[in-house]
A and B are shown apart, each in its own frame.
Chain A
Amino acid sequence: MTQTGSSSGRREPLAVKGVSFARLSLYGFLLLAAISWGFILLGGDSGLAEFGSGHTWGNASKFLGQLAGADFNTEPAYLRPARWWETGKMAYDTLAMSVLAIGFAGGLVLLTFLPGARNVGNGGLGGAPSRKWSALYHIVRLTFALTRAVPELVWALLIVFVLSPGILAGAVALGLHNYGVLGKLSAEVVENLDPAPARALRGAGASNLQMLLYGIIPQALPYFLTYLLYRWEVVIRTTVVVGFVSAGGLGRELRLSLSFFHYTDVAQIIIWYLILVIGVDLTAVWLRRLARFE
């Protein structure tokens, strides 16, 4: 983590007698893959036998039929306008949760990305190297690594101990993970910046705030917004899953409908989910175009 992108120094890659590190890694990965597949297929309930049996595939096609409403005991959900409206409201909550989450992550990153960039502390942008900033660099990068490595869903499990279940709890869980992802990316943007404007400003006697406003933000902001919007596309897909535990939006309903075998409800929720995903993807494309100032 402390060795990323262009900051990663000039160390020569490990090489053994002319075999490149890349080739060694390939062999290493193939070995790891063979062991992993062996472990899973030879383990107790690999499911290999089940996938080979006609019974399983019969069940699967029955399940597909039930999603479409082939089971005529009850009126399928897609024929009830009131039901569309109810799940629509949950989709609306889900969308709000995703926007809140990405706003939360983005705001937190804006407050902390600066010390996360190595060239801020070591004088790469002009000015004297500062030990305090370098110490802060390691702390911030470790925070990014920790929040990023833990999946949203695990954060959600923890958050529901503290916050009441709802949109806010889900958004905080999603925001924490995306804070780590966005923080790392934003810090790397600053590390890869053209240092000339910042150095010139420093040479002209600009204050730290002026350097930030005129030397760093103008270059970095379009990248930051682009990444933020890409992450929003990821977040909308994950919001449903976080709803499993934080009890907000479509996720909870999906889980309940599955456990009550209300399969046409499941189908309806998936349709709303796809509408959200496609809608967010298209909106993000549009906003990204604006953010690139093209």
Chain B
Amino acid sequence: MGETALAGPLPDNPPTSRRSFGNRGLLSLVLAVAAIWSLASVDWTGPLLHTGGGSALWDFLLALFSPEVSPDFLALALTAAWQTLAFAVAGITLAVLLGFPLGVIASGATVSASGGGSWPVPVRLLLAGMRSIHELVWAVLFVAAFGLSSLTAILAIALPYAGILGRIYADLFNDVPEEPLRALRASGASPLKVFLYGRLPMALPDVVGYTFYRFECAIRAAAIMSFIGIRGLGFEIQLSLQDLLFGQVWTLMLLLVALVLLVDRWSTGVRRSLSA
């Protein structure tokens, strides 16, 4: 799961140009050792390519120039795209509904001046637990526990996504400038009011931007729910691949690209409108 505001601005502290040579040397060493170790753990002696693997790759790449565009198949592909979109939207709405309140609590915004309660810590641990496990691992576990249904898949998307959203929301609420908050507190505003009129409006553009980025990820998550048997673009890609119909695979993959780019553009427009 993405942990940072990948779609957001660059990290706050610009790296200083004065470098500590020790850190740089150590980092280079660690990265070099990691690269060599990972390369060494591959069994290079066995056959790396399948027999006919090369020609399969070539056929697949060539099929990009002849995607399947018959009306019947396009209708099927568009239906699949809609199914994937619907699951993604359902998953992200549930994730926001769960993640937003948890994020507010985790940010410590609700802790009263007298320090009432240490809720932020257990909530942060809960969020970390939710996002530790990949959505598809949640999905196979939920299928074993609850049986296969649409809600099982949506829950499997929503749980880890709420974990990430909650953590990022908490960080964004904490990263707002302090002075306006102090002014609010000085005028006697309760923690809730400080949150509603201070932290929330200031963090909103980044909150919306990150939520959109997660929406984009949710589209991919919804697509791969085909592995537990949910219909959609991933499901059709699997079927077409089994029949080696690479032209159909490309049509479906390009639809996935279109969906993702559409959300990307939508996100850019909304963020520009919010910060205008």
Question: Could you list which residues of chain A lie within 8 angstroms of chain B, going by C-beta atoms?
Answer: 1, 3-4, 8, 13-15, 20-22, 25, 29, 32-33, 35-37, 39-41, 43, 45-48, 50-51, 56, 59-60, 63-64, 92-93, 96-97, 99-100, 103, 145-146, 148-151, 153-154, 157-158, 161-164, 166-168, 171, 181, 185, 189, 192, 218, 222-223, 225-227, 230-231, 233-234, 237-238, 240-241, 244, 254-255, 258, 266, 270, 273-274, 277-278, 287, 290-294
Contacts and interface: CB of A to CB of B under 8 A. Distances in A.
Given A226-B11, A240-B137, A149 B256 contact: yes
Given A15-B273, A244-B227, 6 more contacts: A1-B264, A22-B274, A93-B41, A151-B224, A254-B137, A290-B30
A192 B9 CA distance: 10
Contacts of B276: 13, 20
Interface stretch (B14-22, B99-107, B116-124, B172-180): B14-22
B257 A149 contact: yes
- Do most interface residues of chain A lie in helix, strand or loop, or is the interface mixed? helix
B260 A39 contact: no
B170 interface: no
Question: What size tier do the contact residues of chain B reach?
Answer: 35 or more
A290 B140 contact: no
A266 B138 CA distance: 12
B190 interface: no
B124 to A, nearest CB: 13
B151 A48 contact: yes
Interface string B34-76: 1101110111001111100110110010000000000000000
Interface string B214-252: 000000110110010000001001100100000001000
A40 B257 contact: no
Contacts, number: 247
Contacts of A46: 149-151
B50 A100 contact: no
B34 A162 contact: no
Contacts of B113: none
B53 A162 contact: yes
A56 to B, nearest CB: 6
B183 interface: no
A21 B269 contact: yes
A63 B132 contact: no
17 contacts: A21-B269, A25-B273, A33-B93, A47-B149, A50-B146, A60-B145, A64-B145, A97-B38, A148-B260, A149-B260, A150-B257, A151-B224, A153-B224, A154-B234, A189-B10, A240-B137, A292-B15
A166 B43 contact: yes
B146 A8 contact: no
A149 B257 CA distance: 5
Contacts of B4: 227, 230
Contact of B90 (A25, A33, A63, A291): A33
A238 B160 CA distance: 12
A244 B207 CA distance: 33
A158 B56 CA distance: 10
B194 to A, nearest CB: 23
B17 A164 contact: no
A103 B34 CA distance: 9
Given A59-B147, A168-B42, A287 B2 contact: no
A36 B42 contact: no
B23 A293 contact: yes
Contacts of B189: none
Given A36-B85, A153-B227, A226-B11, A290 B26 contact: yes
A101 B245 CA distance: 28
B253 A154 contact: yes
A223 B10 contact: yes
B196 interface: no
